[in-house]
Amino acid sequence: MSESFIKLLYTDYRTDKDYKPDYIINFFSVNEDRLGGIKSIDNRNDLKLYIELIWQYCHGLFSKDRYNDTINTVDKYQSLIDKELTRLKAGDIKDDWYYGLYLFKGMAAYRLKDYKTATNLFKVLTKHDDKNENYKRWLSYSTYGQRIWLVNTINIVFGGLVFMNLFFKDFISNQTLRTTLSIIGFVGLMSNWGYEYYIKRSYRKANEKPFGQ
C-alpha cells in the first residue's frame, strides 16, 4: 500500500508544471491525512520519493511565510524518515532533499527569531557540508541573532567611552588616558558596526534569491 500510494502521489504531484506555492500547499493539504498515515516505507526508491514530497510541502509552506507550519511539518515527518533510513540501511540516500528539510526548519526558526534552534540546525548542515556557502551564511546570521544582546552591549560600552571623552573631559585629567579611551571606543564601535553591516547586507542579498536559498 505504501509503495503504490507514494509513487501514485508523486506522479500526481508532478503533473503540474509551475509548482506555485498555492498549488503545492493545496495538493498536500488534500493528501495530508493519507501521507501522514504511512507508518513504514517498503524500499529505498519509495523513501527517496517520500523525502522529496515532504521537501516540496515544506517549500510551499515556507514560501508563503508559514514558518510555524514549516517547522511542524518537518517535525511531523522527520521521525518516520529517519526511522526508515535506519531500518532500510539507506543512510547513503541522505541528499539535498533530506538536508533541505533541516534548511527549511532552520530558516523558519530564524524568521521566528528562535536563533538557538536555527543555529543548532545550521551547525548540523555545515558539519554535513562545510564547503556549502549557503549553510555557512545562514549559520552566521543565526549566530549573530543569538549574539545581538552582546552586539548591543558592545555598542553601549564603546559608545559610552566616546561620549564620555567628548562631553566629560574634566573628569579625566590624564590626556594620554583620554586619548587611549577615545581610540578604544572609536575602534570598538567601528568594528562592531562593520560586523553588523556585513551580516545585515549579506542577509538582504541572500533573501533576494527565491526562498532565501
pLDDT truncated to tens, each residue of the chain (213 aa)?
A: 444 789 999 999 988 777 899 999 999 999 988 888 888 998 999 999 999 999 999 999 999 999 999 999 999 999 999 999 999 999 999 999 999 999 999 999 999 999 999 999 999 999 999 999 999 989 988 888 877 655 667 666 666 666 666 655 656 555 565 566 566 666 666 776 666 666 666 555 555 554 444
Asked if residue 170 and residue 101 are part of one domain, the reply reads no
Q: Does 89 share its domain with 13?
A: yes
Of the three residues 68, 93, 113, the one that is the final residue of a domain is 113
**6 and 108 housed in the same domain:** yes
Among residues 113, 135, 165, the one where a domain terminates is: 113
Structural domain of residue 102, as residue ranges? 2-113
> Same structural domain for residues 80 and 177?
no
Task: Determine, yes or no, domain membership for 162.
Answer: yes
Q: Which three cell numbers stand for residue 33?
A: 491525512
The domain tally of the chain equals: 2
> What is residue 19's predicted lDDT score, i.e. its pLDDT?
80
DSSP the chain: -HHHHHHHHHHHHTT-SS--HHHHHHHHHHHHHHHHT-----SHHHHHHHHHHHHHHHHHHHHTT-HHHHHHHHHHHHHHHHHHHHHTT-GGG--HHHHHHHHHHHHHHHHTT-HHHHHHHHHHHHHH-TT-HHHHHHHHHHHHHHTHHHHHHHHHHHHHHHHHHHH-GGG---HHHHHHHHHHHHHHHHHHHHHHHHHHHHHHHHTTSGGG-
Q: Among 62, 91, 113, where does a domain finish?
A: 113
Asked whether residue 10 is domain-assigned, the answer is yes
Do residue 104 and residue 168 come from a single domain? no
98 and 34 inside one domain: yes
Q: Are residues 60 and 157 in the same domain?
A: no
* Residue 97 belongs to some domain of the structure: yes
Residue 16 shares a structural domain with residue 62: yes
Task: Report pLDDT for 53.
Answer: 95
Whether 8 and 100 map to the same domain: the answer is yes
pTM reported for the whole predicted model: 0.72
160 within domain boundaries: yes
Residues 153 and 107 in one domain: no
Give the pLDDT confidence of 38-57 residue by residue, as tens digits. 889 989 999 999 999 999 99
Q: Has residue 191 been placed in a domain?
A: yes
Q: In this structure, are 93 and 41 located in the same domain? A: yes
Residue 86 and residue 187 share a domain = no
Q: Output the pLDDT for position 179.
A: 61
- 35 located within any domain: yes
Tell which residue, 51, 44, 56, has the closest CA to residue 14: 56
**Is 75 within the bounds of a domain?**
yes
**CA-closest candidate to residue 124, choices 144, 139, 145, 146:** 139
Query: Residue 36: inside a domain, yes or no?
Result: yes
